[in-house]
Structure 1
Amino acid sequence: MADRLPTVIVTGAARGIGRGIVQHLEAQGWRVAALDLHFDDDGPGRQVRCDVSDESAVRAAFGALADMLEGGLDLLVNNAGIADPETGPVEELALEEWNRRLAVNLTGPFLMAKHAVPHLRAARGAIVNISSTRAMMSEPDSEAYAASKGGISALTHALAVSLGPEVRVNAVAPGWIWKGDPSELSETDHAQHPVGRAGTPRDIAEAVHHLARAGFTTGQVLTVDGGMTRKMIYAE
């Protein structure tokens, strides 16, 4: 790693949290491969179109990045996912919609890890999965999303045990991450967080970067939510 720039693959990299991670790691000197189904512009990173729920597409993406992966992969960030948590009442939730959420949000990280492992072992690299505080707490009508993110937390510790000591595996569980202008939120929106504001993609990017370097940390889920999951809320 001393003779080359560290290399990272980020899925779901075209916008939001994924784009923030790509921008942050590039600024820190990483070579970044940005995977997504749709790119709106020539943004940061080397762009590769990939449906992470399709193993043939994942295999093709690693083939397209073969030159970049010579010498190994230092970090895989599994961020791709269907972000909208609400799917309506469970008694009306179509099996197709349930399966689609799990395919992208949970099977995708499994497939990416599966095909990345040889490259990660070569560099003694790391995986950071993006979970959610919704793996631990819920609003109504979000069963598929919550199940997929709960699965990410379990997949994280299972991979950490299976792949150690060569590869470390951790996760970040974001809370409310606002992708737009923070001024568009109300004072109440910000004030309900113990830190006094909603989160930004940069907050998650910094957490990912920390876990990429945290050599004595594996199998963990780092909650990055401004303290919201530690705050008691009772209706008066």
Structure 2
Amino acid sequence: MFMIQANNISKIYHVGSQDIYALKQVSFTIEDGEFVVILGPSGAGKSTLLNILGGIDVLDEGEILVNEHALSKKNEQQLCDYRAKEIGFVFQFYNLIPTLTVYENVALMKDIKKDILPVHQILEDVGLKEHKKQFPGQLSGGEQQRVSIARALCKNPNILLCDEPTGALDSDTGKMILSLLQNMCRTYHKTTIIVTHNAAIAPCGDKVISIHNGTISSIITHEHPMDIKEVEW
């Protein structure tokens, strides 16, 4: 059984009398616990796909099954519950609350879900134990992104969705963040999907889904994915 199965999905935007396909008849599968890279240039449809997987946007054609449940058959309340309980989001910009400490930003997940992972343990895992009393403005960009990852993981989601998580970081810090995501995927067995335009990351994915102009150009599976620490860009 696949954790995620996309069957001929399309997303269409209507501009005047013209139909613009952000995604066109896209199909793929993702297995439980996979570290997946969705690769493509700007405007290829990557973020649209991520938003659909996260229950933020809806399909126009086809179907996505998550653990054999069709997203299109969920009502608004069910989609809200899906986003709150099943999905962890990590964005390019960190979306932290500046008036809350590192610990408080992560512990917010207690208000969303009961069975969260221990905040102290997650902060230790991402290397922020010593920063728990600091505020976001006192941290570097890489440290703020680690808080964002800790917050997403703490919710104990089944799926971690990461939209250009290194886009605002320098290359060394970006590698550190991606290595952290790869390690957390293995440690906590979280299906992790990373959207990126950076082709250097591709060898690190268990699966690499390449998108161009809203369609899949290739799907590659790596039996022995590269450690992100070995990547150069």
Give the TM-score, by structure 1 length: 0.34
Return the structure number with greater strand share.
2
Q: Which has the higher contact order (CA 8 A, sep 6+)?
A: 2
